[in-house]
A and B are shown apart, each in its own frame.
Chain A
Amino acid sequence: MHEISLVRNIFRTLKEEFPDDFGQIRDIYLTVGILSNVQPIAMENAFQAVLEDEPGYRNKNLKVEVLPILIHCHYCDKNSLVEQYRFICSYCGKPGKDVIQGEELLIKKVEFED
């Protein structure tokens, strides 16, 4: 995907949310669903590249967690894991595309330096 622009978005978002404490941010935890097409390694490399480019961003770490796809079935009211991109309820076998997890592109948590 377009990892560099995503990394810049992370910094822009954090600067907006924490205008006073941005400099103290140390660890950034990102949650990405499989459907976001974000590769953790590519994301971490892009993050390092942006850090080197922007001296003000040094000493920050990025941790990326990948979430599998979950769909909710309206027929049996259960959630099931999507494997091999088969969007089918694993309990009743009916197709479903009500994705309840897997599209995330979220900053889940940030930790600040004292």
Chain B
Amino acid sequence: MEAIKPKSNRAAVGSLQCDNTTFNLLKVNDFVAKAIRDRLPEVLVVNLCSSPGSGKTTLLQETGKRLKGKINMAVLVGDPETERDAIRMRDVGIHALQIVTGGMCHIEAQMIYQALDHFDLDGVDLLVIENVGNLVCPAAFDLGEDFRVTVLSATEGDDKPKKYPRMFLTSELMLVSKSDLLPYVPFSVEAATLDARDINADIEVITVSSLNGEGLDQWCDWLIERVSEKKSKFQEA
């Protein structure tokens, strides 16, 4: 990037124009995201996004139990305040660290990079970043992840993909959570899937329930496959 600087401060009265500067306001974030990718060539990184209260933490608790003995999962969890989610992870034996964003509505790559200095990833195959509950801002911040997964719970309504298009455009997988509630709420998995694929034709969809276990094996298999793909890619390189 080469900026055109004003050539002289002795120009005629008026203004000097500096064209084609195009400084990307997220360039720092994107630079750090790349550094995270370079730092974790062997670990699969998943950025888990959703609205607040969609069941990300409960889903990860259940995921951790099912992955035990198969792959090693660690979780970095972001919230504006409190360490509650990291405590919930540790309660079920998941290696977890809380990122308190101090009111910020999203996690930035810099926060992950700093957290990595305090988080032992020795032997970890899968690092899940549980983002701040928010379908808007986190969509713009690359955290160095390999995959972005967005959770949409049955109680939120099936209109969310079209309302928050960038999140679904940048996700590889949509998990429809709380499927145990589907008989009681006006949520059509088909309608949500159609809208999500209108935005992103390639997005995969898995319906899950952390309460009755529906879809969890399929979700865990998806993770295990992605981990083995990443490992074989690393070994080839």
Which of A31, A36, A87 contacts B200 (CB under 8 A)? A87
A 8-34 binary contact with B (CB < 8 Å = 1; else 0): 011001100110010010110001000
Residues of chain B within 8 A (CB-CB) of A95 are 197, 201
Q: Roughly how many angstroms separate A112 CA and B21 CA in the complex, as a whole number? A: 13
B24:A105 contact, CB within 8 angstroms: yes
Given A17-B3, A21-B6, A85-B199, is A108 in contact with B15 using a C-beta cutoff of 8 Å? no
A113 to chain B, nearest CB (A): 6
Q: Which among B57-65, B135-143, B146-154 touches the partner chain? A: B135-143
What does the 1/0 interface line of A60-87 toward B look like (CB < 8 Å)? 0000000000000000000000000111
Determine the distance from Cα of A35 to Cα of B12 in the docked complex, in whole angstroms: 39
Q: Whose C-beta in chain A lies nearest to the C-beta of B197?
A: A95
> Is A6 among interface residues, defined by CB-CB distance under 8 A?
yes
- From residue A91, how far is it (CB to closest CB) to chain B in Å? 16
Q: Provided the pairs A2-B104, A21-B5, A97-B202 are in contact, do residues A114 and B15 lie with their beta carbons within 8 angstroms?
A: yes
Query: Per a CB cutoff under 8 Å, which of B18, B22, B26, B28 touches A112?
Result: B18
The reply to whether A111 and B18 contact each other, CB–CB distance below 8 Å, is yes
Name the CB-closest residue of B to A94: B201
Would you give the shortest CB distance from A11 to chain B, in whole angstroms? Answer: 11
B169 to chain A, nearest CB (A): 6
Main SS at interface, chain A: mixed
Q: Is the CB of A106 within 8 A of B137?
A: no
Given known contacts A1-B136, A95-B197, A95-B201, is B12 in contact with A114 (CB within 8 Å)? Answer: yes
Indicate if A37 sits at the interface (CB-CB under 8 A): yes
Chain A, residue nearest B168 (CB): A85
Give the chain A neighbours of B202 by CB distance below 8 A. Answer: 97
CA distance A100 to B211 in the complex (A): 41
Task: Tell me the smallest distance from the CB of B138 to a CB of chain A, in Å.
Answer: 10
Q: Which residues of B contact A6 (CB under 8 A)?
A: 25
Nearest CB of chain B from residue A100's CB, rounded to whole Å: 13
Chain A residue with the shortest CB-CB distance to B105: A2
**Which residues of chain B in 3-42 are interfacial with respect to chain A, using CB atoms and an 8 Å cutoff?**
3, 5-6, 9, 11-28
Pairwise interchain contact B15-A112, C-beta atoms closer than 8 A: yes
Complex contact A108–B137 (CB within 8 A):
no
The answer to the question of A110 belonging to the interface, with a C-beta cut-off of 8 Å to chain B, is yes
With A2-B105, A88-B198 in contact, is A109–B169 under 8 Å at CB?
no
Are the CB atoms of A111 and B169 closer together than 8 Å? no
CB distance from A66 to the nearest CB of B (A): 14
**Minimal Cβ-Cβ distance residue in B for A14:** B23
A31 closest partner in B (C-beta): B22
Q: With the chains together, A18 CA to B16 CA distance in Å?
A: 14
The listed residue (B5, B18, B105, B169) touching A97 by CB distance below 8 A is B169
A residues adjacent to B (C-beta < 8 A): 1-2, 5-6, 9-10, 13-14, 17-18, 21, 24, 26-27, 31, 35-37, 85-88, 95-97, 99, 103, 105-114
List the 8 closest pairs (A to B, CB-CB), nearest first: A95-B201, A85-B165, A107-B23, A112-B16, A111-B15, A105-B25, A35-B166, A110-B18
14 residue pairs of the A-B complex, CB under 8 angstroms, read A9-B28, A18-B3, A21-B6, A21-B9, A24-B9, A31-B22, A37-B137, A95-B201, A97-B199, A99-B169, A105-B24, A105-B26, A112-B6, A112-B18
